[in-house]
Structure 1
């Protein structure tokens, strides 16, 4: 069994534990990776607000938008910042609260069987190369630990909650990401 599968902790990630998680249902296989985006305040990057939000520490008086999300308790398994830094909030073995009401190929409640990764960004602003590379590296580790997750079982929040969510948005280049994943898979076969 891989270390990742045993511990649920991503190597190289800074640990920032969120209280917003729970156990996965008994026997639920981890079989989906969901890509999201987030920026707090909207369109602004680099501050502590995303971590504060996922850890229930956000000062809702600090920005008018924060009043709209006051009381929400959400999380993701991990966040990839604009510079490629990986921050982990919830063990991959646990159920993070990232997908909400959702469905993937007829399977309901995606939080039960998915891993959620947030990219610091917006739907319409290009993501950084550092983010794509970190996401591909992380995706490869996750696919190795949980082989039920394949490139075909990596999707956007918009795809599992259409009409309700739009992220990671049109700015996310799925073919570039999948190309980086394929490169890593090919490199692994040559080792």
Structure 2
């Protein structure tokens, strides 16, 4: 069972506070859940690089693909690795920097009113059973605590930033995930 405390932290997720967040706007309702994917280096799983990126500790000289990440300030509320282990970087009460330039249902800047969950993965490699189990349980918890997040308001990064983002990609089984939420 998952609990979200009054400060917006999920228990039993591991906490790795990121400096990459700010306050939500005063009228910033929490009404959207955005599913992402990430792997560093691309297509490689199991390292600490995602945590390091979200906490501004990534050694950008460790891999040639990291050079583009130098000085990048990003975060997500949650990260679910391939084994289903959950880490939280930003309180749900705060605005994580996960969506970038984005729009949903005519509203710009989705970071203002969304929660971002990163799955360790890439567009074309199937996600693990453990990831789906955790994502489903967490999503049900979020929908209960933030009732404005309905199944229709759970989307992929590609849905709010089309042409710019492709995640969670074709490998994400939306039918399985959404059916499990019912």
TM-score range, shorter chain: over 0.9
Matches of 1:131 and 1:179, distance apart in 2: 16
Counterpart residue number, 1:185 = none
- Residue 5 of structure 1 deviates from its aligned partner by 6.1
Matches of 1:130 and 1:151, distance apart in 2: 21
RMSD over aligned Cα atoms: 0.8
| Deviations 1:130-184 (CA, angstroms, capped at 9, x unpaired) | 10110000001100000000111000000000000000000000011012211xx
TM-score, length basis structure 2: 0.97
Is the CA contact (8 Å cut-off) linking 1:76 and 1:98 kept in structure 2? yes
Q: Any stretches of 5+ residues in structure 2 without a counterpart?
A: none
Matches within 5 A, 1:102-121: 102-121=102-121
Is the CA contact (8 Å cut-off) linking 1:96 and 1:111 kept in structure 2? yes
TM-score, length basis structure 1: 0.93
Matches of 1:166 and 1:124, distance apart in 2: 10
Counterpart residue number, 1:186 = none
The answer to whether 1:11 aligns with 2:18 is no
Q: What count of residue pairs does the alignment treat as equivalent?
A: 180
Q: Any stretches of 5+ residues in structure 1 without a counterpart?
A: 183-191
Is the CA contact (8 Å cut-off) linking 1:5 and 1:93 kept in structure 2? no
Secondary structure at 1:76 match in 2? coil
Q: Decide which structure has greater strand share.
A: 2
Matches of 2:84 and 2:146, distance apart in 1: 23
Counterpart residue number, 1:163 = 163
Matches within 5 A, 1:39-78: 39-78=39-78
Matches of 2:144 and 2:14, distance apart in 1: 21
Counterpart residue number, 1:147 = 147
